[in-house]
Amino acid sequence: MKTLCVYCGSNAGARPNYLHTARQLGHLLVERQIGLVYGGASVGMMGAIANAVLSAGGHVTGVIPADLVDKEIAHKNLPDLRVVGSMHERKQLMADLSDGFIALPGGLGTFEEFFEVVTWGQLGFHTKPCGLLNVCGYYDKLLDFLDSAVQERLVRPEHRAIILQSPDAAELLEQMAAYQPPTVEKWLDRRTA
Ligand code: AMP
């Protein structure tokens, strides 16, 4: 992996560990010479990971829609800030620029961005790894829900397996490096179609 897209909260969240892990992931990316692609903001966990990468001498690409430059307080010190026309362009460019995707704890925007890229993987539009960095068990209930969706036969086990997970950033990066995309071609359940 040469570049990794990180989705994360535009807020800092309730636990110091969220910001701490965002910075830790930033340092790991620099150690492994992986460039960061993210949403271009200076706020919350987004700002924390970008600053960690920049201060350790790494490469950061920010991608932000013009409408959000003021709202999310676009990062002022990014050598590579791409201002795009819409949210859709932002997500497409972030995906195109990245070799893999990680979601740190975040809110609705983070969920939306992560699940979009997972569903693109399900459809075979890309074969890049997608992982949840499950800091302090933040995503435990979501992971349980995904397992119940498999039991209900609405998500295939092979597609559930697209979503890698770990509470530890280094371990998640290792899983991502070893990722094998699913080979299931048809995602419709023919038994009930
Ligand atoms: P949040 O997780 O809600 O704090 O938001 C994290 C990032 O997701 C922010 O940069 C938001 O602008 C972005 N975001 C929010 N809604 C969407 C959406 N529908 N599509 C893409 N990005 C979004």
For residue 18 and ligand 1, the question of a CB distance below 6 A is answered with no
Instruction: Kindly report, residue by residue over 60-117, the tens digit of the pLDDT.
Output: 999 999 999 998 899 999 999 999 999 999 999 999 999 999 999 999 999 999 999 9
Beta strands at 101-103 and 80-84: parallel, antiparallel or unpaired: unpaired
113 lines ligand 1 (CB under 6 A): yes
Tell whether 79 is covered by a domain. yes
Of the pLDDT bands very low, low, confident and very high (cuts 50, 70, 90), residue 186 is low
Residue reference for tokens 């924390």: 48
Q: Does the Cβ of 81 fall within 6 Å of ligand 1?
A: no
Instruction: Report DSSP state, residue 94.
Output: H
- pLDDT at residue 189 is higher than 60: no
pTM for this prediction? 0.94
Question: Tell me, what's the pLDDT at 187?
Answer: 53
User: Does the beta carbon of 102 lie inside 6 Å of ligand 1?
Assistant: no
| Segments forming the whole domain that contains residue 146 | 3-177
The backbone torsions φ and ψ at residue 35, rounded to the nearest 5 degrees and listed phi first, read -75, 145
Q: Which of 38, 84, 110, 118 has most ligand 1 atoms within 8 Å of CB, for mutation?
A: 110
The model's confidence at residue 184, banded by pLDDT at 50, 70 and 90, is: low
Q: How confident is the model at residue 190 (pLDDT cuts 50, 70, 90)?
A: low
Number of domains making up the chain: 1
Q: How high is the pLDDT of residue 72?
A: 86
Q: Is the CB of 92 under 6 A from ligand 1?
A: no
- Residue at 185 is within a domain: no
The answer to whether position 60 is within a domain reads yes
Mean pLDDT of the chain: 95
Asked whether residue 17 is assigned to any structural domain, the reply reads: yes
Q: Which among 64, 83, 102, 108 is the best mutation to test ligand 1's pocket, defined by most ligand atoms within 8 Å of the CB?
A: 108
Query: Could you tell me the pLDDT band of residue 193, with boundaries at 50, 70 and 90?
Result: very low
Residue 186 lies in a domain: no
Characterize 2-30 residue by residue with b for buried, 16 or more Cβ atoms within 10 angstroms of its Cβ, and e for exposed.
Answer: ebbbbbbbbebbeeeebbebbbbbbbbbb
Q: Which residue has the higher pLDDT, 169 or 183?
A: 169
Helix (H) or strand (E) holding 130: strand 130-133
Testing ligand 1's pocket by substitution, the residue of 7, 68, 113 carrying the most ligand atoms inside 8 A of its CB is: 113
pLDDT interval class at 188 (50, 70, 90): low
In a domain, 193, yes or no: no
Interval 3-38: pLDDT, tens: 999 999 999 999 999 999 999 999 999 999 999 999
The pLDDT, as a whole number, for residue 87 is: 96
- State in Å: Cα 110 to ligand 1 middle: 5
14 in any annotated domain: yes
Instruction: Answer yes or no: is 129 within a domain.
Output: yes
Q: How far is CA 132 from CA 30, 71, 95, in A?
A: 19, 26, 16
What is the 125 CA–ligand 1 centroid distance (Å)?
22
DSSP string, 26-82: HHHHHHTT-EEEE--B-SHHHHHHHHHHHHTT--EEEEEEGGGTTTTTB-TT-SEEE
Q: Is the CB of 91 under 6 A from ligand 1?
A: yes
Percent of the chain with pLDDT over 70: 95
The enclosing domain of 139 has a CATH number of 3.40.50.450
